[in-house]
Structures are given as structure tokens and as C-alpha cells.
Amino acid sequence: MAPKIAVIGSGPAGITAALELKDRGFEDVTIFGSFEEAQLKTKQVDGIVFDVAACLLHLGYRNTVIPLTRRFGLEVNYIKAPADIVTSRLEKIKKRPGEIIDVYLTILYYLFFFFGWLFLHKTPFRKRYSSSMETFLVQRRLEGLSKSFAMGPGGIAQGYGFLDEVTAYHAFRWFRPRLFLTPLVSRFKFGVATIKQGYEVLFKNILSELNHVESKIKLVRPSFEKVEVSTQEGEILLFDEVIIACPLDQINFPHAYLIDENTIEESYLFSYLFTSPTIPPFEDRAYLSAYIECKMKNKALVIRTGGQTKTGDYLYWAVGYKSSEISKQDLKSQIERQLSKECNLIIKKLHYFDVFRYNLRFSSQAVRDGVVDKFHNLQGYKHIWYSGGLLSHWDISSIYEHNRWLVNKMRYRLGNKNLFSYLKYKFKTIVSWLRLI
Ligand SMILES: Cc1cc2nc3c(=O)[nH]c(=O)nc-3n(C[C@H](O)[C@H](O)[C@H](O)COP(=O)(O)OP(=O)(O)OC[C@H]3O[C@@H](n4cnc5c(N)ncnc54)[C@H](O)[C@@H]3O)c2cc1C
């Protein structure tokens, strides 16, 4: 009989987990949670579609999100990165091959990330990564690299948080060799892309093909060979396997005691979408490096433009971190002052402003205490599995990759566990990783 599976959470983590289960032949899958609460928010402003909580696709998405857009009939807008911004580092080298020093520096930079990643995942030295990324660099006399980390892969440009707040563990987690191998085989080599109709439309389309129940889940607990799932409405349901794909502090589950205020850290990010008659002083986006370097909160750190609207105005999106003490109203006034006085952008109309609880991550304490490893070892224990940004990396591509791995592991567990099926599982895992390259 087909196993009855519940996926808890209907954000990108839950939706890609349920889709992967369906694709791998599991027929009885129910996904719980409210899509409206997921971080994805697509806004339409005078003919422009803009995602205020998951706007960009980059190289790594080639094997995850981009095929999904094709499958669900959506289009991708490829935005060629202008030569003078950090993301086009490789492009710059291509244009100025004479500057060989740049090539060496880039190779060294990626090698540093690669070995960082290798040590982080494959050796017992993980606990050394519990310090902040800033301390990690200073201790290794690499503080000169901090600017490049803040602005480049793994840093603020990826929306992590400042380097003194983010553990080295988390920063290195961003690196996945695939991210850098993909350009070798991909048409989509440089720059970034967006989903033309928006992320929200994509995930709503996928969700409409799944068995979705709006209820929130209060409790998940093992019950003999099954897993008991209690909804907030008081209904108790039994499943064979359960994937928890909602933030782990939002639900009661057998190992919830591992999660407390010392285990997780988070950032509060604001998203401010506005139109302006002012012509953008940059092509696609500008990193306000002076603010980034001074670790300014309550200030826009990156400003992007979505282009010119039908009415002739420009659509802008400003994003930055919120400090805990400032009220939303004061924050709004401060952003507006910054945009108009310091950045010379006249705000014509505000289209969207919100603050997100963003980038839930394990704290240094949790890395030191081995909580992260505990969760990895707990995968599938008593038929309960864990997904979402906390367990992978926060971006949607990595969440999807994690779910592919998880479902593969689940299939092996549910199958016949002899040597042959173990080898088959290992082979399939390797093939699925190769497919991602
Ligand atoms: C400003 C901003 C910019 C971003 N930019 C990008 C980007 O460019 N690229 C990118 O890949 N990512 C980006 N992200 C990150 C991306 O949006 C998140 O990584 C992603 O939404 C996380 O998915 P999730 O499913 O884990 O969590 P969420 O989207 O937070 O969804 C959680 C889900 O769990 C449900 N839930 C919670 N509690 C329960 C419960 N008890 N029972 C049942 N369901 C429950 C909620 O209803 C919700 O549906 C950005 C995020 C923000 C805020």
C-alpha cells in the first residue's frame, strides 16, 4: 500500500518537498499550511511584476527553479549583469583577460570557499565554524577578504546578515560546488534572472496540483509505527511519514526541546517598493557599500530597479535590516529620508512596505553544541523528516535540492534495506547530484 505522507508547511520548502514526493511516485501526499503566510510576495505595479521576497534566480537555480518555471508554463527574464557590479566578477575577467591577477584572485577566492565547505561538511572540525564569519577571517589573518565576503557570495549580497552576526558555518553553507560548476555547462552563465510572472504565481501553480489542506499543525508525535498529526482545529490524523517543512519554532514535535532562543538566530529584513520619476543612477541594482561596511541597520543596503512602468516612472525596491528597537513607522520614515535626501530618489508612490522575519539560522551555540549534526542524524527517525531553510541553506534552490536528497533517502528507508538496495540508493543519490551539475 502507498505510504500516507504529510508535508507540514506550504511555503517553498513544503511545496517542493510535496512535488518531489509526487514525482518520485508517492501518491498519497497531503500538504498542510497557509500559502498566504509563506514569504513569497509578488507585486504588480503598473505593468511590472516584482517579487519582494524572492526576486532573483542565479546560476544555482538552473537545475532547480528554472526547470520548474518551464514545467509550469512560466517565463524567465535573463538580466545580464553590468560589468561594474560584484556579481559580474567572471564577466569582468572575461572582458579584461590581461588582468591575470584578477583571475588568480578569483580562483583563490573560490578555492577558499571550496575548502571551507569541504571542511565544514566532511571533517570533525565543524565546531571551529561556530564563530562569526568576521572572527573566522580575522583569526586566519584574512580580514582583508571581509569586504569581498560582505559583498560577494555568502555575504550580505546574498542577504545573510552582517558578517559579525552570521556564523562561519552558515556563510560556508552557501557554497555548493554546483553553483560554480553550473556555468561550465549552462547557457545562463552570468548575471541574474527573475521569473516573469513572479515566484508567487509559480508556487501557487504547483500548489494547485497538490492535495493541500489550509490547516495549521500544532503537534507531530510518533504513535506506534505511525505519526500522529494534530491540527489547530483539534483533528488528529495518522500518517506513515511526515516532513516538517515549516519553521521549527512554529510547531511542537518530539525534538522541539532542541530549539530555543539560544538555538536559532534570525534577521528582520525590510522590503520597500516604490515608484519614482528619478532615472536610476545604476543599471539593475546598487549595493550601498558605505552602509554595508558600517553595518548600518534601518538603512537600505541594496536598491534594485524593476525598470520603467507604463506611466513612465521607475520601479525601485530597497531592502535592508531592521534593528529590534525601532518601530515600523519610524523605520519607514528613516528609509524615506535616506532614499530622498541621501540617495536623491524622489518617492512618488509607495507600493509595498513590510518587515519579514527572515533567514532563520542555527546560532553559534547550536553549532558548538552539535545541534545541527543532531538534526541531520535525526532525519527519518520515527518516520519524521526535516526540511526548510534552517536545515539547508535559506534560498529556494538549495531548499529544493535538500528535498530531493530527503525524498531519495526516504525511498531507500521505505524500501528493502539490503546491500543491493543500499548500492542502488547510493548510485541514485550520486546520479541525482550529477544531474544537478
Ligand atoms: C526580502 C526577501 C528576499 C528574498 N530573496 C530571495 C531570492 O532572491 N532568492 C531565493 O531563493 N530566496 C529568497 N528569499 C528567501 C525565500 O523567500 C525563503 O527562503 C523561502 O520562502 C523559505 O521557504 P520556507 O517554505 O522554508 O518558509 P516560508 O516561506 O516562511 O513558509 C513557511 C510556511 O510554513 C507554514 N507554517 C508555519 N507554521 C506552520 C504550522 N504550525 N503548521 C503548518 N504550516 C505552518 C506557513 O503557513 C508557510 O506556508 C528571500 C526572502 C526575503 C524575505
14-37: per-residue pLDDT in tens? 999 999 999 989 999 999 999 999
Integer Cα distance of 43 and 296 in angstroms: 27
From 81-90, 96-105, 375-384, the region with the lowest mean pLDDT: 81-90
What are all long-range contacts of 370-374, with beta carbons under 8 Å and residues at least 24 apart? 370/127, 371/258, 371/263, 372/126, 372/169, 373/126, 374/255, 374/258
Q: What is the pLDDT of residue 47?
A: 87
Task: Assign 285 a pLDDT band (cuts: 50, 70, 90).
Answer: confident
Instruction: Give the start-to-end residue ranges of the domains of the chain.
Output: 5-38+201-263+366-436, 86-190, 266-362
Mutation to probe ligand 1, out of 160, 246, 335, 385 (largest number of atoms < 8 A from CB): 246
CB-based contact 301:292 (threshold 8 Å): yes
- Pairing between β-strand 5-8 and β-strand 241-244 as defined by DSSP bridges: parallel
Over pLDDT 90: what percentage of the chain?
46
pTM, entire model: 0.88
- Grid coordinates given for 333: 520614515
Q: Stretch 343-362: mean pLDDT, rounded? A: 92
Fold agreement between 5-38+201-263+366-436 and 266-362: no
User: How many Å lie between the centroid of ligand 1 and the Cα of residue 41?
Assistant: 10
Task: Assign 11 a pLDDT band (cuts: 50, 70, 90).
Answer: very high
pLDDT at 275 over 60: yes
Instruction: Tell which wins on pLDDT, 87 or 49.
Output: 49
If we measure between CA atoms, which residue out of 80, 89, 86, 357 comes closest to residue 194?
80
Integer Cα distance of 213 and 23 in angstroms: 20
Integer Cα distance of 106 and 58 in angstroms: 18
CB-based contact 112:350 (threshold 8 Å): no
- Pairing between β-strand 264-276 and β-strand 349-362 as defined by DSSP bridges: antiparallel
User: How many Å lie between the centroid of ligand 1 and the Cα of residue 54?
Assistant: 9
Indicate whether residue 161 lines ligand 1 (CB < 6 A).
no
Q: Stretch 147-172: mean pLDDT, rounded? A: 73
CATH number of 5-38+201-263+366-436: 3.50.50.60
CA atoms within 13 A of residue 154's CA, in its CB half-sphere = 29
Indicate whether residue 321 lines ligand 1 (CB < 6 A).
no
pLDDT at 317 over 90: yes
Indicate whether residue 21 lines ligand 1 (CB < 6 A).
no
pLDDT at 143 over 50: yes
- The protein residue with its alpha carbon nearest to ligand 1, atom 13, reads 54
Alpha helices in 36-99 (DSSP H): 65-71, 89-95
CB-based contact 266:250 (threshold 8 Å): no
pLDDT at 289 over 90: no
User: How many Å lie between the centroid of ligand 1 and the Cα of residue 396?
Assistant: 8
Q: What is the pLDDT of residue 258?
A: 93
Q: What is the pLDDT of residue 87?
A: 43
Domain range 266-362, CATH class: alpha beta
pLDDT at 85 over 50: no
Indicate whether residue 65 lines ligand 1 (CB < 6 A).
no
User: How many Å lie between the centroid of ligand 1 and the Cα of residue 106?
Assistant: 32
- The protein residue with its alpha carbon nearest to ligand 1, atom 27, reads 11
User: How many Å lie between the centroid of ligand 1 and the Cα of residue 27?
Assistant: 25
Name the DSSP class of 380: T
Q: Stretch 388-394: mean pLDDT, rounded? A: 86
Integer Cα distance of 337 and 342 in angstroms: 7
Integer Cα distance of 66 and 71 in angstroms: 9
Q: What is the pLDDT of residue 63?
A: 80
* Atom nearest to 390 CA in ligand 1: 26
What is the Cα Rg of the chain in Å? Answer: 22
Instruction: Please count the other Cβ atoms lying within 10 Å of the Cβ belonging to residue 116.
Output: 20
